[in-house]
Amino acid sequence: MAIKFQYNKTSLQQLEKQLKVRVRTLPIIKNKESALRMEVKRCKSEAAMLDEKLEREIQAYEAMFALWNEFDPSLIKVSDVHLGVKKIAGVRVPLLESVDFEIRPYSLFNAPKWYADGVHLLKTLAHTAIEREFIVAKLGLLEHARKKTTQKVNLFEKVQIPGYQDALRKIKRFMEDEENLSKSSQKIMKSHQESRKEAEA
């Protein structure tokens, strides 16, 4: 990205202002990037833990597989999922607050004894699966934000700040050269005038 500029004081001041903004903003963006990186790492380990938990719960479900033929799956259903929003390093991410289940009444006398355990197991399984979905969504948002922030850090650090510094150097050199030329020409004119005066005298 080439920085457009002109060889004058106005352009010099504008570039200095732009450079100052970027130099001041860079540490803030770097902090955001490291916060997002840590959060992504934490989120990945949380997702892995939930995967393991889900796997264990599915195994517990499969251990009772023979009994599930007697179970009425319409007894329990998810009625509502309560969401929240949390800001992590300026990124809004979904937050699972709670899951509401609707459990249809059933006869404790006519139903097998393990029905209560079955309902509890299904509630746990559904809650873990929903929680995992939220973590995966959160991870996706954080990863995207981290990539964008890393790109911005690289843009500022490797492209824009050096580009502005180089442009400022060029303008300053040009203006110095111009000033030196102006002084030299003034000296030459002065010496010409003096020699003309001496010739006239």
State the CB neighbour count (10 A cutoff) for residue 146.
Answer: 21
Residue 80, domain member (yes or no)? yes
Domain presence at residue 40: yes
**pLDDT number for residue 201:** 67
At 77, is the secondary structure helix, strand, or coil?
strand
Full domain range(s) for residue 76: 11-164
Residue 138 lies in a domain: yes
Q: How confident is the model at residue 1 (pLDDT cuts 50, 70, 90)?
A: low
Count of CB atoms situated within 10 Å of the CB of 43? 21
Ranges of beta strands (E only) in 104-198 are none
In a domain, 200, yes or no: no
Query: In this structure, which amino acid lies at residue 13?
Result: Q
What is the per-residue pLDDT across 100-122, written as a single tens digit (0 to 9) for each?
A: 999 888 777 777 777 788 888 88
- Is 141 part of any domain? yes
Is 99 within the bounds of a domain?
Answer: yes
For residues 29 and 122, the model is more confident at 29
Amino acid 26: pLDDT: 94
CATH classification at residue 94: 1.10.287.3240
Residue 172 forms part of a structural domain = no
pLDDT above 80 (res 170): yes
- Mean pLDDT across the stretch 56-66? 78
Q: Is the pLDDT of residue 177 over 70?
A: yes
Q: Is the overall model pTM greater than 0.95, yes or no?
A: no
Three-state DSSP class for residue 4: coil
Residue of higher predicted confidence among 163 and 5: 163
| The predicted structure's pLDDT at residue 6 | 85
* In-domain check, residue 130: yes
Q: What confidence category does residue 29 fall into, taking pLDDT thresholds of 50, 70 and 90?
A: very high
How many domains are there within the chain?
Answer: 1
Which phi and psi angles does 83 have, rounded to 5°? -105, 155
